[in-house]
Each structure stands twice: as structure tokens, then as C-alpha cells.
Amino acid sequence: MAILKIETLGAEVLRRRAHEIQPSGEDPELDRLIEDMFETMYDAHGIGLAAPQVGISRRLIVVHVNEEGEEPFALLNPRIVEAGKAKEKGEEGCLSIPNISAAVERPATVVVEGLDPKGNEVRIEAEGMLARCLQHEIDHLDGILFLDRLSPLKRNMLVKKYRKQES
Ligand code: NI
């Protein structure tokens, strides 16, 4: 296993729409990538990580929202098939934008479909932190960052704050 380099704000790969990924049943390369993504996520104390964040423009995410007793899982080609009408605000950060966080409004519940690493269909009915995390990670696959979900004023303020700490 290996800890991968996490791409940060400004990296072009974070702004690209990632390509679909084909599970092949047995794929040692995919298995190793998933292991490395988990290790990278745990090392950075994150609860989710999308492949573009480690420089790989593929539709793959790993998630471990342990506060709700959820098991860790990897999801290929995840998509939101239903979003609840009720919205909820919650604090979010991102491993690609270190030390910056903000309250983001999102649907409180979502239904997500995708494939597990073996290619089996998966359907997840999520609420709370899991729903938020899934939406945040799926956004990454479309080149969207949580900053984009904020008002322009708030976003500019946070980008300035981020640039300041980076310099
Ligand atoms: Ni993120």
C-alpha cells in the first residue's frame, strides 16, 4: 500500500469531468488503487476521497463515515438517482483544500447507485453525514468543489484565506 499525493485547489484534474471506470471482476490494479486511496484518506483523517483528488480522472470514490458505524466502501460510477426535497446545512471541508471549511446546503437525503469493485450493482439510501459525504465526493467526479456550492462572496473570501495560508 502507498500514500498517494493529494491534488489541491488549482490542479486541473480537480476541474475535469472524470471518465467512467470498468470493473473487471478481478483487477489487481483497481484493487491496489482502492487500497491506496483508503490509506491516503485515513492518513489525512478524511471520511471520503475521490480518484481525481489523487490525480486519476476516473469515476471512483472511497467513503468511511465511521461516526455512524458505517463500514468503509468503494463505489464505481456512483450517481445520485434521487434527492430529497428537504435541504440541510452542514460544515464541510475537503482534503484538496486544507484548513478551509464552510457550511454547505445540500439535500438531506439521497439515493445513490453505482457498482462495487467486483461490478455488482449497489444502491445506497443515505441521510445525515453519509448523504453529505456521497454528494461531496460525487461532485468531485464532475469537477465540482464544495466552494462552488457557496455564494460568490463567501467563496472569494475562502479562496483568499486559502491562498494566504499557502503563500
Ligand atoms: Ni473533497
List pLDDT tens digits, range 102-158.
999 999 999 999 999 999 999 999 999 999 999 999 999 999 999 999 999 999 999
The answer, yes or no, to whether residue 43 has pLDDT greater than 80, is yes
Query: What's the sign of the alpha-carbon dihedral 65, 77, 17, 89?
Result: negative
Query: What is the radius of gyration, based on Cα positions, of the chain?
Result: 15
Distance CA 103, CA 149 (A): 10
Cα(94) to centroid(ligand 1), Å? 4
The answer, yes or no, to whether residue 23 has pLDDT greater than 90, is no
Cα(37) to centroid(ligand 1), Å? 13
Cα(39) to centroid(ligand 1), Å? 16
Query: What's the sign of the alpha-carbon dihedral 45, 46, 52, 58?
Result: positive
C-alpha cell at 72: 468503509
Cα(131) to centroid(ligand 1), Å? 14
pTM confidence score: 0.96
Is 137 noted as a catalytic residue in this protein? yes
Which of 7, 67, 137, 166 does the annotation list as catalytic? 137
**What domains lie within the chain, and their CATH numbers?**
12-166 (3.90.45.10)
The answer, yes or no, to whether residue 68 has pLDDT greater than 70, is no
